[in-house]
Amino acid sequence: MRKKLLLGNWKMNKTPSEAKAFALAASEMVDYAVAHNIEVGVAPTFVSLAAVKENINPKCIVAAQNVNEHDHGAFTGEVSIAMLKEVGIDWVILGHSERREYNGETSPVCNLKIKALLAADMTPVYCCGESLDTFEKGQTKEWVSKQIREGFAGLSAEDAKKVVIAYEPIWAIGTGKSASKETAEDTISFIRGVLRELYGETAEEIRILYGGSVKPANVAEYMSEPDIDGALVGGASLEPDSFKGLIEGMLK
C-alpha cells in the first residue's frame, strides 16, 4: 500500500519569521494527518529551512526546493547535501518546472542529484510535466516518458522505490486551471506503466503525486484516482487554514 503524501511547495514565499509562524501553527494538523495515515511536508526556501525544522512538529517532513549535486567547491549560490543534512533536512524537490525554465535544471542534471541524494539516504521528489503547447499537440506521454527515463537512468529498483514523483502539467501550475482528475490519472497511470517497464512490480511501490492548482476543494477528486498518491501544492499550501483544508480534503 502506498502511503498518501501531501507536500507544500512554498516557492519564493515567506521570510524565516513567517515560515516559523506557520510551523508553530501547524502542530495539531500534522498530528491529525499522521493519525490518519497521511504523510505531510512543507518545502520552505533555503534560509527558512532551519527555522521551520526547529519549530515544526517533528512528524512533518521539511524539504528543500533544490540541492547541488557536487559535494562542495566553487559553485557560488549553491547549497550542498551536507549543508542540508546538518540542519536536519532529508527531502529535496528536484526538477520543478520553474527551475527547469529559469535555472536550466535538466532531467540529466536531476538524475545526478537523485543519485547523490539516494547515496546520502535522502528522499528526492522528482517533478515532471509538459507545457500547454506539448499538451495541445497530444505529446504529453512522449514528453514525460523522456523526463522519467532520463531522471531515473541507472537507478536500481531498490533505489527507484525511494524516489517520489510529482506530475505537474505546467499549464496547471499557479493558473487556477487544474487538470481534470481523468487527465491527471491518465498521465500518472502512464508514468506508472513506464516505471513498470523499467522496474517491474516495484513500480507499484513508487509514489506519484499530482500538482497544479490543487486546492482544498478539489484535492479529494485526485485522491479518488487509483494511481494518484497525493499532491504537491503551491499556492494553497501557504496558509495554515488552507493546508488543513487540504488534509481534510484528502480524507474525504
SS3 231: strand
Closer to ligand PGA at the Cβ: 127 or 148?
Answer: 127
Q: Which of 39, 98, 130, 168 is catalytic?
A: 168
> Could you tell me the smallest distance in angstroms from the CB atom of residue 202 to ligand PGA?
25
> Could you tell me the smallest distance in angstroms from the CB atom of residue 119 to ligand PGA?
26
Closer to ligand PGA at the Cβ: 174 or 200?
Answer: 174
Torsion of CA 202, 204, 205, 209, to 10 degrees: 130
Supply the DSSP string of 139-165, one letter for each residue: -HHHHHHHHHHHHTTT--HHHHTT-EE
> Is 168 considered catalytic here?
yes
- How many helices (H) and strands (E) the chain has is answered by 12, 8
Q: Which of 39, 69, 96, 105 is catalytic?
A: 96
Q: Which residue is nearest to ligand PGA (CB)?
A: 234
Closer to ligand PGA at the Cβ: 9 or 134?
Answer: 9
> Is 36 considered catalytic here?
no
Q: Which residues bind ligand PGA (CB under 6 A)?
A: 9, 168, 173-174, 211-214, 232-236
Closer to ligand PGA at the Cβ: 68 or 237?
Answer: 237
> Could you tell me the smallest distance in angstroms from the CB atom of residue 184 to ligand PGA?
13
Tell me the three cell numbers of residue 183: 487527465
Could you give the CA distance from residue 110 to residue 115 in angstroms, rounded to a whole number?
A: 9
CA neighbor of 79 nearest in space, from 48, 104, 46, 53 = 46
Catalytic positions, written as ranges: 96, 168
